[in-house]
Structure 1
Amino acid sequence: MGVAAAGYAAVMATAPDDEVVAIRAYRNALAAGDIALARRAAAVLTRSGVAPADVAILDFAEALRKRDQAAADDALGGIGAGPLDFLAPVLRAWLAHDRGADPFPILDNASESGLARRYIAEHRALLLIASDRIEDGIAALRAAVGADPGSIDLRWNAATLLAAKGRRDTALSLLAGDDPVLSGLRARLKKGPKPGAAFGASRAFTRLASDLAGQETQALSILLTRSALMLDPGDDRARLLLADALAGEQAYERAQAALDSVKKDSPFYAAALTERVGLRDKQGDDAGALALAATLARARDASIADRQRYADLLSEQGREAEAAGIYAQALAQAGDGATWIQHLQLGGALERAGRWDEALLHLRKAVELAPEQAVALNYLGYAQIERGVNLGEATALLERASKLRPDDAAITDSLGWAYFRQGEVAKALPLLEKAAQSEPGSATINEHLGDVYWRTGRRFEARYAWRAAALYAEGEQKTRLSAKLADGIGQRTAAN
C-alpha cells in the first residue's frame, strides 16, 4: 500500500463517515492498488449519495470476481444510468453469455449511437467467437477492424480467443504487420482466459482506458485498469495502460512498479521496456532514459522502433550527428519498406548536424514518398529558404503545405518568411501576423515578425515582437534577440 493510501486508511478508521476523507481515500487506494480500501471508501460515498459514477465499474468487477449475479445486475444498473452507459449493453451481453442465454438480442436492441456503436460491433465479434460461431465472428471482426485499423486491442483480444478455439493460424493473421508490438504479440501468442463475462468486461475496460489515454482522464483510466486486473490478473495490456495513467498523475514509482510486473515471457514485455524509457524521460532522467534506449537499440533483436526511439532522444539532447547515424540504421533495417517518416527523420537530423547535401537527398525522398504530407513539404521548403537555395521550388513546396494545412501556424510562418526572403513583404506580413496570433509563444515566429516590422520601418512593433520572442528563446537565438533589441537589425543580427 502507498504511504498516502495508508494514511487515509488510518484516518478513515477514526472518521468512518467523513465524505471528504472517503473520496481522497478512494482515489489514492485505486492508485496504490489497495482495492479493499477503495471499496471501503466507495461504500461510505455510496451511503452518503455522493459516490462518483465510476464506483459502479468497481462494484461490477467485484461482483464478477465473486460470481455474485445479483450484485452484478445491481452494478450494471448503475453503469447504465451514468456517463459510461455505452458500456452497459456490452457488459449485459457478456452476462447473458455466462448464464447460457442468447447475448445477441441485447446488442441488436441497444442504441448504437456514438461510442456505443463501436463497442457493440467489437464485442459482437468477440461474442460470436466465444459462442463457437467462428466464421461469423471472423467476418464481424474484419468489419470492426476495418473501422479502426490502428487498434491493437481488438486484434489482440480476438487473437487470444481464436487461439483458445484452436484457430492459431487465423489468430496470427490478425497480428500481421511490422509494428514491433505486433511482432512481440505474434511471438508470444498464448491461449487467453476462459471467454466469459470476466474476459469481456476486462477487455471492455481496457479498451476504454486505451481510448482515454492522453486525454487528462487519469483517475478514470486507473479505475478501469485496476478493475480489469481484478478480473484478469494476467492482462499485461491493462498494466501498460495503468502505468501510463499513473505517470500522468506523476505517481512515477507506482508506474514503474506496474511496468516491472510485466515479465519477460509476456507478449507485452517489449512494450513495457519501451514505456520504461518514456517514464524515465517524463521524470526528467535524461541520462537514464538515454541509457536504457541505447541498450534496447543495440540489442541483437533491436527493432526499427527501438532504434528510432534512441535516435529521437539523441536528437532531443542536441546530439544530431549521433542521431543521424542511428536513424540511418533504422532506415537500412526497413529496407524497401522504408517510409517517408524515416527519410524525414534522417534528413532532419543530417540537416541539423550541418550535413546539408546528404540531408537534401532524404528530405526530397520524403516528399517523393508523401507528396501530400504537409510536414514533409514544410521541412524541405523551409530548410531551403533558410539557406537561400532553390527559392522558387522551396516557396512552391510551402504554398502546397499551406493549402493542405492553412491553420498550421508553423507552416504559415514558413510561407510568410519565404515571401519576405524574396522581397515580397506585402504578402509576407499578413501571414506572419496570422502565425503569431495563432502561436504567441513561438520564439521563431515572433522573431520573424519583428524582422519584417523592422524592415518596413515599424520599429516599435518590431521591438515588441522581439521581446515576445526573447521570453521563449534560448541559446544563440536569445543572444541574437538581445542584439536586435539593443541595435535593431544589422548584418550580424538578421534572423538567418
Structure 2
Amino acid sequence: MILLKNRLARPFALALMLSAFSLPTMAETAPTGALDFLKLLRPSISGSFIAGQEAMKDLRTDEAARYFGQAVQGDWDNPILAERAFFAAAADGQIPQAAEMAKHLLDLQKGNELAELVQASVALKERRYGAAERALAQVPQDTFSGITAGILRAWALVGDGRGEEAEQLLAKLGQRGLEDFLVFHRTLMAEASGNKAKALELAEKAYDVEPYVPRVVEIYARMLANDGQFDAALDVINEFEAQGLSHPELTAVKATIASGKRPGVFVANAQIGAAEMYQGIGAALARDGSSDLALVFLRLANYLNPSSDVIPLTAAQLLDNAGQHEAANRIYDAVPANSPMKPAAVVRIAQNLDAIGNRSEALRRLRNIVATNPDDLDAVSALGDLLRYDEQYLDAAAAYSHAIELTGGDAPADWRYYYVRAIAYERAKEWPKAEADFLKALELNPEQPQVLNYLGYSWIDQDMHLERALEMIEKAVEMQPRDGYIVDSLGWAFYKLGRLDDAVETLERAVMLRPNDPEINDHLGDVYWEAGRKLEAGFQWQIAKAMDTEGGHVRDRAEAKLAEGLTEKTASE
C-alpha cells in the first residue's frame, strides 16, 4: 500500500493556507461584480474566459492555460485576466511561462504573493540565490504564504552557502509555535549544508514527532545508516513496517541498508529541499480540497526537482481524483522503468483504465503484474478490488487472501484486507467466512466505522444479534454522522427492531444525505408503508426505481411494491 502522507498536514497550516492563498472570486476582483466584468469584455475574450474557468474547475489545466492565454492576449493590461493566465500556466506545469506572466501581473497589481513565490522559485532553480532571497524578504511572515516564503528564503540562503543565516531565519519562524512544523526542514537544511551531526540530531526530533510518515522515516534511516548505524536504521524502518505500512522508496532504501551500504544523502542541494516544501504544502492542500492550488504547488515541486518520482505521482493522484485519468496516466507512463515507484504507477494506470470503462483490459494488466511479481501488495490489493467490483467475488476473496499472506495479517493496518475479503464472502453468500473476517477486522481496528456499520447492518438484515448490532451502528454514526450509508443502516436497524418513529426520522435524514441512492429511498418507502403513510411510500419507491439506472435488484423490488404494496415477497433485503 502506498502512503503519500505528508508532514505538513497540520491544522494551523491548513487554516493559514486557506486565508492566504484562496483565489479571489470574480465578485471580489471585478469593479462591479462578475457579470458586469464579463459584459465589459469582447465576446471572443469573454468566451475564452468562461471556457478557461470551466476547464480549470475540472483540472483540465492544458485547456485552461490555452483559453486564459487567449483571453489575456486580447486585453493585455487586465489584471484579472493576467492573474488567471498566470495561475493556469503554473497549474499546468509551465513554470517559466508562468513566471513571465507573474512579472507582468506584479507590474499591474502589486502584492500577489503566489506570483512572488513563482518568480523566486525560478530564481532558486537558476541558482540566483541572492535574487530569490531578496525578493522573498519583502513578503510579510504573518500568514501561511509568509511562512512559505520564509522557508523558501531559507533554502535560498542554504543554496548561497549561508546555512547559519537560514537556521536563524527558521528559528525566528519557530518562535510562532511552529517548531514541530519546521524541524523537518531544519533537518534537511543541516544535511544540505554538510552539518551531518546537526542533521542527525534534528532528524531524531522529527522522527519523534512523526514516526509513521514515510518521508521522515526514510530520512532518519538514511542519516543513521550514513553514520554507520545500520542496525538502528533498520530498526526504524522495521517499526514503520510493523504497523502494516509501506512505501516503495523506503523499501528500496531498506534493501540498500540491509546490504551494508550507505544510502547517501537525501537533499543534495537547495532545489531538492525547496521541492520537498512545495510537495508537502501541495499534498496538504489536496487533502483539504483546494485542488487547483495544490496542483500549482506540486508543479513547482516537480520543476525544482524533476528527478523525483514521488512528486509527479502525487500530482497524478490529484488528477485522478478530479477524473482526469488520461492526464494522470501520462504522468504514470513517464515514471522511469527502474524507479521504485514504477510498479505503483503501472497499477494506477490499470485502475484508470477501469475508471474510463475498460475493465477487461484493467484486469488483464493487473493479472499480468501479479503473475510477474506476486509479492507486489499494491497490485494484489488492486486486483482484488477490481474483481470485487466486477462481482467475481470468490476470485476477489482469493486475491485478498494472497494480500493477507504477504502482510502476515496481524498488523493494525491489515484490518482493511479482512474487511474487503469479508465483503467478497458476504456477496458470494458465504456468511460464516464473512462474519469471521468482519470480526477479525474489528479485532485489529475496534473503532473502524465502516466495519462496525457493515457487520452491524448484516446482522440486522439477518435478524441476528440485534441489540449488539444496533450499538455498533450507533457508534459508527457517532463517528461519521454525515455518512448517508451508515445513517441508513441505523434507520434500518430501528425498523427491524420495530421502532418506526425512530426509523422514519433516521431514514429521512439518510435520504437528505444521499438523495440519489436507490437503496436508501427504497428503505424509506418501506418504513413509510409500515407507518401507514402509503402515498409517501409509493413516492419513495418511484424515486428508488428511477435512481436504479443500472437495472439492479432495487428497481425490481420497487416495481413489485408499486404494484402489490409491501408484502413478505416484496420487502427490501
Amino acid at match of 2:106: T
Distance 1:25 1:352 in 2: 50
Distance 1:311 1:304 in 2: 11
- Structure 2 vs 1, CA of residues 401 and 32 (structure 1 numbering), >3 Å: closer, same or farther? closer
Question: Once the 2 structures are TM-superposed, how far is the Cα of residue 7 of structure 1 from its aligned partner?
Answer: 8.1
Alignment pair present for 1:155 and 2:246 = no
Amino acid at match of 2:426: E
Distance 2:491 2:139 in 1: 53
Write the deviation string for residues 408-453 of structure 1: whole angstroms up to 9, x where unpaired.
4433332332232233334433333333344333332322222111
Distance 1:149 1:428 in 2: 44
Alignment pair present for 1:298 and 2:371 = yes
- Structure 2 vs 1, CA of residues 161 and 281 (structure 1 numbering), >3 Å: closer, same or farther? farther
Conserved in 2, the CA contact under 8 Å of 1:90 and 1:107?
A: yes
Alignment pair present for 1:107 and 2:167 = no
| SS at 1:341 equivalent | helix
Write the deviation string for residues 89-148 of structure 1: whole angstroms up to 9, x where unpaired.
32333333343341333222225558x554312212333444555455445334433434
| SS at 1:337 equivalent | coil
Amino acid at match of 2:332: L
Question: Map of 1:163-242 to 2, 5 A cutoff?
Answer: 173-176=235-238, 177=241, 178-181=245-248, 182-187=250-255, 190-192=263-265, 195-242=268-315
Conserved in 1, the CA contact under 8 Å of 2:133 and 2:157?
A: no
Alignment pair present for 1:121 and 2:183 = yes
- Structure 2 vs 1, CA of residues 94 and 180 (structure 1 numbering), >3 Å: closer, same or farther? closer
Distance 1:411 1:11 in 2: 47
Conserved in 1, the CA contact under 8 Å of 2:93 and 2:303?
A: no
Write the deviation string for residues 6-59 of structure 1: whole angstroms up to 9, x where unpaired.
787788788765656644543454455433322222222222117853222221
Conserved in 1, the CA contact under 8 Å of 2:525 and 2:540?
A: yes
376-385 or 139-148: bigger deviation: 139-148
- Structure 2 vs 1, CA of residues 29 and 89 (structure 1 numbering), >3 Å: closer, same or farther? closer
TM-score, length-normalised on structure 2?
0.75
Show the counterpart of 2:415.
340
- Structure 2 vs 1, CA of residues 458 and 20 (structure 1 numbering), >3 Å: closer, same or farther? same
Which one of 466, 472, 478 corresponds to residue 555 of structure 2? 478
Distance 2:170 2:340 in 1: 31
Which one of 436, 443, 446 corresponds to residue 368 of structure 1? 443
Alignment pair present for 1:67 and 2:127 = yes
- Structure 2 vs 1, CA of residues 414 and 183 (structure 1 numbering), >3 Å: closer, same or farther? same
Question: Map of 1:270-289 to 2, 5 A cutoff?
Answer: 270-289=343-362
Distance 1:19 1:399 in 2: 53
Conserved in 1, the CA contact under 8 Å of 2:528 and 2:536?
A: yes
Show the counterpart of 1:145.
207
Show the counterpart of 1:264.
337
145-154 or 342-351: bigger deviation: 145-154
| SS at 1:84 equivalent | helix
Write the deviation string for residues 127-179 of structure 1: whole angstroms up to 9, x where unpaired.
34445554554453344334344432333455556666666665555544151
412-421 or 306-315: bigger deviation: 412-421
Distance 1:368 1:3 in 2: 49
Question: Once the 2 structures are TM-superposed, how far is the Cα of residue 67 of structure 1 from its aligned partner?
Answer: 2.0
Conserved in 2, the CA contact under 8 Å of 1:185 and 1:267?
A: no
Which one of 532, 545, 549 corresponds to residue 457 of structure 1? 532
Question: Once the 2 structures are TM-superposed, how far is the Cα of residue 363 of structure 1 from its aligned partner?
Answer: 2.0
Amino acid at match of 2:158: H
Please list every run of 5 or more consecutive structure 1 residues that lacks an aligned counterpart in the other structure: none
Distance 2:481 2:266 in 1: 50
Report sequence identity in percent: 29
Write the deviation string for residues 317-350 of structure 1: whole angstroms up to 9, x where unpaired.
2222221121122123333525322211111111
Amino acid at match of 2:113: A
Conserved in 2, the CA contact under 8 Å of 1:381 and 1:395?
A: yes
Alignment pair present for 1:97 and 2:158 = yes
Show the counterpart of 2:386.
313
- Structure 2 vs 1, CA of residues 65 and 419 (structure 1 numbering), >3 Å: closer, same or farther? closer
Question: Once the 2 structures are TM-superposed, how far is the Cα of residue 477 of structure 1 from its aligned partner?
Answer: 0.4
- Structure 2 vs 1, CA of residues 78 and 495 (structure 1 numbering), >3 Å: closer, same or farther? farther
Write the deviation string for residues 254-298 of structure 1: whole angstroms up to 9, x where unpaired.
433322222122232233233323433444443343333333333
Write the deviation string for residues 47-83 of structure 1: whole angstroms up to 9, x where unpaired.
2117853222221221112222332024314654665
What is the root-mean-square deviation in Å for CA atoms of aligned residues? 3.5
- Structure 2 vs 1, CA of residues 225 and 312 (structure 1 numbering), >3 Å: closer, same or farther? same
Show the counterpart of 1:490.
567
Which one of 383, 401, 406 corresponds to residue 458 of structure 2? 383
Conserved in 2, the CA contact under 8 Å of 1:206 and 1:228?
A: yes
Conserved in 1, the CA contact under 8 Å of 2:65 and 2:89?
A: yes
Conserved in 1, the CA contact under 8 Å of 2:333 and 2:346?
A: no
- Structure 2 vs 1, CA of residues 257 and 79 (structure 1 numbering), >3 Å: closer, same or farther? farther
Question: Once the 2 structures are TM-superposed, how far is the Cα of residue 402 of structure 1 from its aligned partner?
Answer: 4.6
Alignment pair present for 1:433 and 2:508 = yes
| SS at 2:113 equivalent | coil
Conserved in 2, the CA contact under 8 Å of 1:209 and 1:225?
A: yes
- Structure 2 vs 1, CA of residues 468 and 331 (structure 1 numbering), >3 Å: closer, same or farther? same
Conserved in 2, the CA contact under 8 Å of 1:32 and 1:254?
A: no
Distance 1:458 1:262 in 2: 59
Write the deviation string for residues 389-416 of structure 1: whole angstroms up to 9, x where unpaired.
3445434543554555556443333233
Distance 1:484 1:93 in 2: 69
Conserved in 1, the CA contact under 8 Å of 2:393 and 2:424?
A: yes
| SS at 1:493 equivalent | coil
Alignment pair present for 1:447 and 2:507 = no
Distance 2:374 2:138 in 1: 48
TM-score, length-normalised on structure 1?
0.86
390-399 or 311-320: bigger deviation: 390-399
Conserved in 2, the CA contact under 8 Å of 1:347 and 1:359?
A: yes
- Structure 2 vs 1, CA of residues 467 and 144 (structure 1 numbering), >3 Å: closer, same or farther? farther
Distance 2:347 2:135 in 1: 36
Amino acid at match of 2:154: A
